[in-house]
């Protein structure tokens, strides 16, 4: 073999080797783990992420904590943060992360096509993957389903001593009040909050499940809660919880005007992600039919994608009209909403 043949062979071999190396590097990059900071603490999410790894070969490293803790952690970590994806259980804290510059925009035709506009950020910083309807629940023996039809009526004096709700520190209540703020302005929203406080059967305490159980026990006649809490009681393995759930009816408020308030569980790509490809794959997987079914059947949440069958726990509630207010709006209103609730005496 002369020198020219050697060089030709060598260059060809080098090119082939380079191609192999690039292919291997590409696969290695795609196989990098995704570091997920998650405020979701549901056992069924384990199956959700296991399925993602099975489909893609990408391992998920989960850091679980409260949303506020995770936001503060990402802020403190700065550019050195290992987080690739942040997921929370409400729009308020997701929007807070966006406002603090902790999320980066993602342009994804897959996500934009699958997720309705009102449950994703207009600039692509975050996307909703499941929905939580915040509704009025009532004791079937003491309230007729047509006695209250709107959130506004919660402040009606007829409910004095009959209304149960969580505290003003509950993010779900802040988001609902933020939606009221968008609909009616600050002055009317503050009057509404004062009316609700005047109607409380007892000082706010406990979570949504506690409000539902208290209505069933006769401590109040109506309460405000997310549908999935009642759905979980309906599907409980405990007979006593299923029995109390049978006493509770559901009213989807404001069906004749703007629709029922919807909160979301969602997330986005962390601002300093080192694995953008893996992060995008995870987010796009979360709108797949199998993942959407995990959200629905794992925790009785409403899927954001149409055509997904609903679990028995919530299918019986029926169809309803959703408020089309973008979650970014009421999420951004949370801080002012809390101030209004404080002024109204909502503990």
Query: What 3-state class would DSSP assign to 202?
Result: coil
Q: Which of 6-15, 150-159, 166-175 has the lowest mean pLDDT?
A: 6-15
3-state secondary structure of 315: helix
Residue 19 is predicted with a pLDDT of 39
Name 288's Cβ contacts closer than 8 Å, sequence gap at least 6: none
Our CA angle for 253, 256, 261, nearest 5°, is 35
Query: Do residues 126 and 141 share a domain?
Result: no
Least confident of 18-32, 80-94, 193-207, 214-228: 18-32
Same domain, residue pair 194 and 103? no
Residue 140 within any structural domain of the chain: yes
pLDDT above 50: residue 165 = yes
35 and 66 belong to one structural domain: yes
> What is the distance between the alpha carbons of residues 146 and 303, in angstroms, rounded to a whole number?
27
pLDDT the model gives residue 9: 35
251 and 180 fall within a common domain: yes
Is a pLDDT exceeding 50 seen at residue 12? no
Q: Residue 156: CB partners within 8 Å, gap ≥ 6? A: 148, 195, 199
Q: Region 236-263: what's the mean pLDDT?
A: 96
Q: How far apart are CA 29 and CA 23, in angstroms?
A: 10
Higher pLDDT among residues 263 and 16, named by residue:
263
SS3 316: coil
pLDDT, tens digit, for every residue of 104-138? 999 999 999 999 999 999 999 999 999 999 999 99
Residue 18 phi, psi dihedral angles, 5° rounding: -60, -40
Query: Domains in the chain: how many in total?
Result: 2
Mean pLDDT on 163-190? 96
- In this structure, the answer to whether residues 56 and 176 fall within a common structural domain is no
Domain co-membership, 180 together with 41: no
Tens digit of each residue's pLDDT (9 = 90 or more) over 289-312: 999 999 999 899 999 999 999 988
> What is the reported pLDDT for 138?
98
Residues 30 and 165 in one domain: no
pLDDT given at position 43: 72
- 16 and 143 in a single domain? The answer is no
Q: Which residue has the higher pLDDT, 25 or 195?
A: 195
Q: What is the mean pLDDT of residues 173-197?
A: 97
Confidence of residue 222 (pLDDT cuts 50, 70, 90): very high
Q: Is residue 252 part of a domain?
A: yes
Task: Note whether 230 and 307 are same-domain residues.
Answer: no
User: Is pLDDT of 26 > 90?
Assistant: no
Q: Same domain for 126 and 149?
A: no
**Residue 281: CB partners within 8 Å, gap ≥ 6?**
34, 56, 58
Q: Are residues 208 and 240 in the same domain?
A: yes
Task: Evaluate whether residue 104 is within a structural domain.
Answer: yes
In this structure, is residue 116 part of a structural domain? yes
Distance, CA of 320 to CA of 191 (rounded, Å)? 27
Evaluated on CA atoms 220, 221, 225, 227, the torsion sign reads positive
Q: What is the pTM of this model?
A: 0.86
Q: Are residues 142 and 254 in the same domain?
A: yes
Closest CA to 88 of 121, 55, 135, 54: 121
The answer to the question of residue 248 being in a domain is: yes
Residue 1 lies in a domain: no
Q: How far apart are the C-alpha atoms of 75 and 99, rounded to whole Å?
A: 12
pLDDT of residue 342: 97
CATH number, position 107? 3.40.190.10
Per the structure, the complete domain to which residue 299 belongs is given by: 11-131+264-312
């Amino acid at each position: 073999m002369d020198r020219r043949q050697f060089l030709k062979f060598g260059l060809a071999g080098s090119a082939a080797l380079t191609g192999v190396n690039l292919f291997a590097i590409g696969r290695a990059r795609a196989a990098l783990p995704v570091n997920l900071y998650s405020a979701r603490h549901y056992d069924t999410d384990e199956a959700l992420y296991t399925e993602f790894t099975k489909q893609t070969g990408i391992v998920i490293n989960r850091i679980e904590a409260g949303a506020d803790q995770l936001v503060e952690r990402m802020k403190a970590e700065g550019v050195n943060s290992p987080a690739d994806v942040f997921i929370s259980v409400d729009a308020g804290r997701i929007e807070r992360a966006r406002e603090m510059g902790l999320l980066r925009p993602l342009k994804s035709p897959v996500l934009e096509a699958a997720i309705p506009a009102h449950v994703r950020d207009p600039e692509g910083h975050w996307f909703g993957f499941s929905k939580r309807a915040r509704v009025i629940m009532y004791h079937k023996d003491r309230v007729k389903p047509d006695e209250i039809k709107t959130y506004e009526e919660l402040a009606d004096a007829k409910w004095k001593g009959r209304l149960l709700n969580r505290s003003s520190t509950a993010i779900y209540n802040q988001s609902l009040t933020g939606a009221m703020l968008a609909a009616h302005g600050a002055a009317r929203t503050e009057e509404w909050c004062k009316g609700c406080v005047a109607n409380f059967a007892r000082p706010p305490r406990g979570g949504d499940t506690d409000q539902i159980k208290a209505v069933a026990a006769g401590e109040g006649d109506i309460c405000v809660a997310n549908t999935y809490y009642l759905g979980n009681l309906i599907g409980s393995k405990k007979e006593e919880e299923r029995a109390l759930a049978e006493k509770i009816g559901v009213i989807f408020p404001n069906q004749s005007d703007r629709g029922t308030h919807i909160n979301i569980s969602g997330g986005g790509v962390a601002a300093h992600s080192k694995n953008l490809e893996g992060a995008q794959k995870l987010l796009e997987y979360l709108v797949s039919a199998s993942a959407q079914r995990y959200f629905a059947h794992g925790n009785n949440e409403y899927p954001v994608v149409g055509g997904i069958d609903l679990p028995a726990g919530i299918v019986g509630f029926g169809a309803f009209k959703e408020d089309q207010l973008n979650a970014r709006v009421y999420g951004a209103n949370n801080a002012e909403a809390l101030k209004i609730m404080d002024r109204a005496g909502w503990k």
